[in-house]
Amino acid sequence: IESSCDETAAAVIRDGREIISSVVATQIEEHKLYGGVVPEIASRRHCESIVAVVDEALQKAGMKAQDVDAIAVSYAPGLIGALLVGVNFAKGLALSLDKPLIPVHHIRGHIAANYLAPPELEPPYLCLVASGSHSHIVKVNDWTEFETIGQTVDDAAGEAFDKAARAMGYPYPGGVHIDKAAQTGDRKKYQLPHPHTANPYDFSFSGLKTAVINLIHNARQKGEEIDVNSLAACFQYTVADILTQKFIAAAKEGGYKTLALAGGVAANSGLRSMLQQRADYNRMKVYYPPLALCGDNAAMIGCQAYYEYKAGHIAGSDLNAVATMRLDRVTW
Ligand code: KG4
Ligand code: ZN
């Protein structure tokens, strides 16, 4: 079960690798009206949809709730009111069915989405997580052992995409619109900054987002036209360049030959192709989650839950939702 942001989702997963069913009810159309996720609305919609979404996932799997071996839920990090809906529903279900309750860190789930495509990926490998709320370089030492070696010091990559897209006139969530516009733009037309960070593997995207906003304002004041497709191409190229440069440098230093990409921004075509090129050049192999599993879904939560369960990570009915939690220091 997944309800950390604006998607209510449920899935039935076999042995961590096989999707039996997966249902995602998105609230995007409603949040679009406000230019971003409104937490209070998100919680209310989760309350309204969770029963139907879980029922549909079971129905599609041809199963009854009693047939599942365990209940897993995304309990951190995320919007607290949104997470609470999934957590309380999962607790009730586990208690009434007398099944184990498995707490899953949402970002660990994003990483696990990679296990739902090719059968051979296994730790250790280095993962670049780029989502709407997180940007991390993570050593995946084992199925449930992680070490974050770099992260954003301000905006996440997806957040920067969404804010830059908004300034360009696209609706929320704007990442996918920039991706589309960039395909016909000239990526050399505008100059954008490459922000510096004290830790070479940390990211900073807020200056880049501000540069895009300033560029648009300045052009407007001078009555100049902005070539939006080219600005999208420049922005996307710069974000992909920053992410992949640091990621490949970290992989080289750590001696990694196996890499994986995760999170909503993993769907970005410019990021995928740049990472592939740079990994090929360095003789590294990259794994990607299936496109449909880059954004929030419950299949990835069920997948990671299998490994958490095998590691003995079982929660009691005192499990609580937590808004902020490092993926390499989980508690419940
Ligand atoms: O991982 P996710 O579903 O949410 C969090 O857990 O935070 O990521 C959503 C983010 C949004 O910022 C969205 O704009 C971005 O992923 N995104 C993209 C693309 N598709 C989704 N960003 C760039 N290019 C895309 N094709
Ligand atoms: Zn997510």
For 37-73, write each residue's pLDDT tens digit: 999 999 999 999 999 999 999 999 999 999 999 999 9
Quick one: which of 291, 175, 289 has its CA closest to 236?
175
Q: Is the pLDDT of residue 283 over 90?
A: yes
Mutate to test the pocket of ligand 1, among 2, 128, 131 (most ligand atoms within 8 A of CB): 131
pLDDT the model gives residue 49: 98
pTM for the predicted model, two decimal places: 0.97
If you measure from the C-alpha of residue 109 to the centroid of ligand 2, how many angstroms do you get, rounded to a whole number? 8
Q: Which ligand is nearest to the CA of 132?
A: 1
- The predicted structure's pLDDT at residue 109: 98
Q: What percent of the chain has pLDDT over 90?
A: 99
pLDDT category of residue 8 using cuts at 50, 70 and 90: very high
For residue 180, give the ligand nearest its CA: 1
Residue 104: band (very low, low, confident or very high) from pLDDT cuts 50, 70, 90? very high
Could you tell me the distance, in angstroms and rounded to a whole number, from the CA of residue 175 to the centre of ligand 1? 6
**Is residue 102's pLDDT more than 90?**
yes
Please give the number of the atom of ligand 1 that sits closest to the Cα of 296: 3
pLDDT at residue 73, rounded to an integer: 98
* Ligand 1 mean position, distance from CA 131 (Å): 5
What is the tens place of the pLDDT at every residue in 9-23?
999 999 999 999 999
As a whole number, mean pLDDT of residues 243-248 equals 98
For ligand 2, the distance from its centroid to the CA atom of residue 165, given in whole angstroms, is 19
The confidence score (pLDDT) of residue 189 equals: 97
Mean pLDDT of the chain: 97
Q: Which SS3 state, helix, strand or coil, does residue 138 take?
A: strand
* Smallest-distance ligand from the CA of 235: 1
Ligand 2 centroid to residue 65 C-alpha, Å: 25
Check whether 238 has a pLDDT greater than 90. yes
Rounded to whole angstroms, what are the CA distances from 84 to 8, 147, 301, 302? 12, 27, 16, 18
Q: Tell me the DSSP string of 225-245.
A: PP-HHHHHHHHHHHHHHHHHH
> Using CA atoms, how far apart are residues 140 and 146, in angstroms rounded to an integer?
5
**Atom 7 of ligand 1: nearest residue by CA position:** 132
Alpha carbon distances (Å) from 132 to 108, 125, 149, 249, 294:
15, 22, 19, 23, 11
The pLDDT of residue 213:
96
CA of 217 to the centre of ligand 2 (A): 31
Amino acid 132: pLDDT: 94
CA atoms within 13 A on the CB side of 111: 34
Could you tell me the distance, in angstroms and rounded to a whole number, from the CA of residue 17 to the centre of ligand 2? 19
pLDDT tens, position by position, 176-206: 999 999 999 999 999 999 999 999 999 999 9
Predicted pLDDT of residue 198: 95
Atom of ligand 1 nearest to the CA of 270: 24
What distances in angstroms separate CA 46 from CA 50, 73, 85, 192, one per listed residue? Answer: 6, 14, 6, 39
**Which residue's alpha carbon is nearest to atom 5 within ligand 1?**
132
List pocket residues of ligand 1, CB cut-off 6 Å.
5, 110, 131-133, 158, 161-162, 173-176, 179, 263-265, 267-268, 295-296
User: How far apart are alpha carbons 88 and 81 in whole angstroms?
Assistant: 11
pLDDT reported for residue 171: 96
Note the pLDDT tens digit of each residue in 117-169.
878 999 999 999 999 999 999 999 999 999 999 999 999 999 999 999 999 99
pLDDT at 76 over 90: yes
Q: Which ligand is nearest to the CA of 32?
A: 1
Q: Of ligand 1's atoms, which has the minimum distance to the CA of residue 107? A: 6
Ligand in closest contact with the CA of 133:
1
Residue type, 71: I
- Please tell me the distance between residue 66's alpha carbon and the centre of ligand 1 in angstroms: 34
Q: What span, in angstroms and rounded, lies between the C-alpha atoms of 34 and 31?
A: 5
